[in-house]
Structure 1
């Protein structure tokens, strides 16, 4: 099956420091891939190149056959907003919004009306066991609950790819396992591919394929 996301010969420099060195990567539709490595190995830097957040110094990243370098800034922003989802270690929720409003945000930013956007968010949140908390402010949530909202927000618009940067790193082992399983179950149910960066072997074991990154080298 052809790759939906591909990187070829990607280098990334921060000044004179090379964070990523000659990385080749491919991801198929619906596939869950883990990029493992210790802190400072370059795995998050590569993730942001794959997501079109950082432009590689050398090499190319392509999504669905189109190179990021061929897109304007506006086109790349639209691609990230409409076709990608993101889950970060600490959720990165907006505290002034409710659970439901946070989860519905990608749909609202895409121009969808409030009622259908909130209905879709409520459905995804319900599958994550959050139905009773839709109107709660995120400042009142536990770590596991906050990360479930972040997962709902990443998946609500049915993206092609979700990029997850240490998505359970801030959780205890019990919550981490539960949130990860719910996240990957939902992603697989809707055919969303996932790239998850992690240092945790237990997280990587849930993936269909695995890469290891050491000192900027991807293997």
Structure 2
């Protein structure tokens, strides 16, 4: 990230628990609207779930929030800085150093060990190998994976692989984690265990989590719930969710 980009981010940090917000965000694929006027705010240590059917726009909104997809209208702010004002290099650095990602199928690198996969965000940020592997070992231990450190992804189960993906997303203590159907590939028993460990560790680190899911049971573990339908994001009443 350039010096000007760093100074913009540092100079614009807001002194509250709010870390990321979207205001009246629109996104189009061609002429077709995917997100319509979305408003959402993420806070430190808080888990926010977005539910909805396939094609409702929830994953599209997730990638707008992460700065992967540029919005057509509206704005997204991270710690007060408008993402649309950052250049590609600054956005890449932000995603690498301040954000974490968990996907449905883990997306581990097959040629790396469990330990090396977990340490990857730290290595990409320039941390020395020994220090990165030590930090990876610590978070793997918190997820009950210490005995798997030298295995490769092909040598662990689906549930274990997804725990490694969670460890990788949290090892650098990101400000926000974006989770796109993080338990969608798991059976119900593994899904519940992985989700519980993921959210517990994120909350303990003060990391904000935005969780996209079609599963109401998964969404019920969140602090705040939204529903998305035909691109429109609406808050859900926990009493009736």
TM-score, shorter chain, exceeding 0.5: yes
Query: Under TM normalisation by the shorter chain, which class is it?
Result: over 0.9
Aligned partner of 2:181 in structure 1 is 166
Aligned partner of 2:162 in structure 1 is 147
**Residues of 2 paired with 1:30 and 1:126: CA distance?**
21
The offset of 1:2, in angstroms, is 5.0
Mark the runs of 5 or more structure 2 residues left unpaired by the alignment: 1-15, 235-241
| 1:27 equivalenced with 2:37 (yes/no) | no
State the secondary structure of the residue aligned to 2:107. coil
**Residues of 2 paired with 1:72 and 1:87: CA distance?**
24
Aligned partner of 1:44 in structure 2 is 59
| 1:156 equivalenced with 2:209 (yes/no) | no
| 1:212 equivalenced with 2:212 (yes/no) | no
The offset of 1:3, in angstroms, is 2.2
State the secondary structure of the residue aligned to 1:93. coil
Structure 1 residue aligned with 2:76, among 36, 61, 70? 61
Structure 2 residue aligned with 1:73, among 88, 91, 98? 88
Aligned partner of 2:153 in structure 1 is 138
TM-score (structure 2 length as normaliser) = 0.90
**Residues of 1 paired with 2:124 and 2:148: CA distance?**
22
- Does structure 1 retain, via aligned residues, the 8 Å contact 2:18–2:79? yes
The offset of 1:8, in angstroms, is 0.7
Work out the number of aligned pairs and report it.
219
Q: Deviations over 1:47-92 (max 9, x none)?
A: 0000111101111110000000111111111111110000000001
The offset of 1:29, in angstroms, is 1.4
Structure 2 residue aligned with 1:179, among 194, 211, 217? 194
State the secondary structure of the residue aligned to 2:228. strand
The offset of 1:10, in angstroms, is 0.7
- Does structure 1 retain, via aligned residues, the 8 Å contact 2:98–2:176? yes
**Residues of 1 paired with 2:94 and 2:108: CA distance?**
21
**Residues of 2 paired with 1:29 and 1:188: CA distance?**
8
Alignment map for 1:76-91 (pairs within 5 Å): 76-91=91-106
Cα RMSD (Å): 0.8
- Does structure 1 retain, via aligned residues, the 8 Å contact 2:45–2:204? no
The offset of 1:119, in angstroms, is 0.4
TM-score (structure 1 length as normaliser) = 0.98
